[in-house]
């Protein structure tokens, strides 16, 4: 069975990754990015984060709308995208929680 579900799953993951960078950048706040020192732990400027978010949104757009025939009204299509976004969000929350005190039980 040849389906574009893998692309849509990762499209959801890229979309989820874009959101915290976009919001932090719009708020004028520094946030972690792959371009900081050390990568993913140090802070990047709000401008860098807006640009990183735009790149992530672009990758999500390419993966979702240019591979296969994605239909947001189809529960399977939307579910695959949503699962990618949910799993990426959980991983990002855990990772950023280590840096911002969001893991209340000290999860590592």
Q: What single string gives the DSSP state of each residue in the chain? A: ---SHHHHHHHHHHHHHHHHHHHHHHTT--EE-TTSSSTTTSEE-HHHHHHHHHHHHHHHHHHHHSSS---TTSHHHHHHHHHHHHHHHHHHHHHHHHHHT--TT---
**Residue 105 belongs to a domain:** no
**Residue 40 belongs to a domain:** yes
Q: Which residues contact 103 (CB under 8 A, 6 or more apart)?
A: 94, 97
Q: What are the 10-residue block averages of pLDDT along the chain, 108 residues in total?
A: 85 97 96 91 94 98 96 95 97 85 63
**Residue 38 belongs to a domain:** yes
**Residue 106 belongs to a domain:** no
What is the value of pTM for the model shown? 0.87
**Residue 71 belongs to a domain:** yes
How many domains does one find in the chain?
A: 1
Residue 31 burial (C-beta neighbours within 10 Å; 0-12, 13-18, 19+) = buried
**Residue 86 belongs to a domain:** yes
- What pLDDT was estimated at residue 2? 57
**Residue 24 belongs to a domain:** yes
Residues of the domain holding 73: 5-98
**Residue 104 belongs to a domain:** no
- What pLDDT was estimated at residue 59? 98
d(CA 59, CA 24): 19
- What pLDDT was estimated at residue 96? 84
């Amino acid at each position: 069975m040849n389906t574009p579900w893998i692309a849509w799953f990762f499209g959801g993951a890229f979309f989820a990754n874009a959101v915290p960078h976009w919001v932090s950048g719009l708020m004028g706040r520094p946030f972690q990015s792959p371009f900081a020192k050390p990568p993913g732990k140090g802070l990047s400027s709000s401008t860098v984060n807006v640009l990183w978010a735009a790149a992530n949104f672009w990758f999500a757009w390419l993966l979702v709308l240019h591979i296969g025939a994605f239909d947001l009204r189809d529960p399977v299509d939307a579910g695959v995208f949503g699962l990618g976004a949910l799993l990426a969000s959980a991983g990002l929350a855990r990772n950023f929680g280590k840096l911002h005190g969001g893991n209340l039980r000290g999860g590592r």
